Every structure is written in structure tokens, then in C-alpha cells.
Amino acid sequence: MQLFLKKNGFLFFWIIAIADVIAAGSGMVVLHACLKPLLIPILIVTVLLNTKASKGRSLVITGLIFSCLGDIFLLAEEKNKLFFIPGLICFLVTHLFYSWYFLQIRRTGNSLLKHRPLLILLIVLYTAGLLAWLIPSLGELTLPVVLYACILTGMLLCCLHAFNFVDRTARNLFVAGAVFFVFSDSLLAINKFCASFAYSGFFIMLSYSLAQYFITKGFINNDSRQ
């Protein structure tokens, strides 16, 4: 069983993820509530079975654990709005641990952001524009949402900072994961606070699944080259 999970963990993840994406997009609330909490534990097991113990693994696993808690809180938030803030805090912590992981990657050159400072400006402008759209609708949630957006933006910047310190495959996976996280959370915020849109659950869950997959896949790839 352990060997099967080691070799097929990501396949198992995508079987569950695709079913969950369809459930979320089709309004199958009960099925979505059953499937979503399974996604991150599968990734945790896959990471544990395919990497060696290290500081980096501890950081990524901790981030995944808080993601799992965040998933559960946000599912509960559909019945009780009080669970939104705990869910937000859990994902904020996830991004802090992912950022810590990217920052502790051993340097083998100069940061991409040093050579491409325009990327910082573009990312900050995107965050500022999104917040300018959201803030009028946030009310008492303004401060926690703004703080979360800043931490999420920081995670993407930390990922780009580490771009030159890992091989081509890992860097592409990491950047894809960070970008999909920003995209997923942007869609979630727009749908929740500004303008709900058709098939929002489908696109939010698909981009979220891609984000977590790419980050964990990138970590496993980078760990195998250490």
C-alpha cells in the first residue's frame, strides 16, 4: 500500500480533485463537503513518502496542514459565517510557511526580483487594484482581507525570489502554483464580496487544486535534486 501511494499519490489526488471540481461546479454540496477535506491529506502523504526529512519538508507539510484546516473551516462557513475568519487565518499561515520555504532555499545566484524589479511593481499593482475593488464591499472584514492579500502577495514574491535558485522544472512548478493560488483566492474573494458568477465553485476549486499540486510537485522535484 505504501509503495502504491508513493508512486500514485498524485494520480489519486487528481481523481479526487476532478470529482470535487465537478461537485463544486454542479452544486453537489454534500459530495463537495466529503471530497474537499481529502485533497490535502493525500498531498501530505505523497510528500512524506517521496521526500527525506528536512527543514524544507517540515515547512511545506506545516503549510499543507494549515491548508487542510482552512478547507474544513471554509466548508463550515457555508453554514456559519463565523468560520470564515478561522479559515482565512489558516490559509494566511499556510502562505507564511510557503514563503518561509521559498526564502530558505539555498542561493545559487541572484534573485530574479533583483534583475526584474518591474515584476514587483506589477504584482503590487494587481493586489492594489483587486483590493480597491473589494474594499467597498468588505465592511468589518476589511482589515483581515487586506492583511491576507498582502501575505498572499508576499508568498508570490518569495516564490519569484527563489526562481533562480532551483532547476527549470521546479521553478516552473513553483511559479505556476503560486500564481494559481493568487488566481484562486482572487476568484473566491470576487465571488464572495463583489459579484457572484456562474460556475464559480468549478473555477475556484480547479485553480486551488492546481495551486497545491504544483507547489507540492515542485517541492518533491527540488528535494530529489538536493
Listed in sequence order, the residues at least 6 apart from 13 whose beta carbon sits closer than 8 Å to its beta carbon are 39, 42, 43, 46, 209, 213
CA pair distance 101, 218, nearest whole angstrom = 12
CA pair distance 28, 202, nearest whole angstrom = 11
Mean pLDDT over each residue of the chain, to the nearest integer: 94
Structural contact between residues 73 and 36, judged by C-beta atoms closer than 8 angstroms:
no
Least confident range from 50-54, 76-80, 152-156, 202-206: namely 76-80
pLDDT of residue 176: 98
pLDDT tens for each residue of 180-206: 999 999 999 999 999 888 888 999 999
pLDDT of residue 226: 65
Q: And the C-alpha cell for 202?
A: 468549478
Torsion of CA 197, 198, 201, 207, to 10 degrees: -80
pLDDT tens for each residue of 108-156: 778 999 889 999 999 999 999 999 999 999 999 999 999 999 999 999 9
Question: In the chain, where are the structural domains located?
Answer: 2-223
Structural contact between residues 41 and 68, judged by C-beta atoms closer than 8 angstroms:
yes
Q: How many helices (H) and strands (E) does the chain have?
A: 9, 0
pLDDT of residue 195: 83
Mean pLDDT of 37-63: 96
Looking up cell 532551483, which residue turns up?
Answer: 166
Report whether pLDDT(50) > 70. Answer: yes
CA pair distance 71, 206, nearest whole angstrom = 14
| CA distance readout (Å), 59 to 7, 49, 62, 99, 134 | 23, 16, 5, 9, 31
DSSP 107: P
CA pair distance 150, 103, nearest whole angstrom = 17
pLDDT of residue 8: 85
Smallest CA-to-CA distance from 145 within 159, 133, 131, 158 is with 131
What per-residue string of b and e applies to 62-79 under the rule 16 or more CB within 10 Å gives b? bbbbbbbbbbbbbbbbee
Report whether pLDDT(4) > 70. Answer: no
Burial status of residue 30 (CB atoms within 10 A of its CB: 0-12, 13-18, 19 or more): exposed
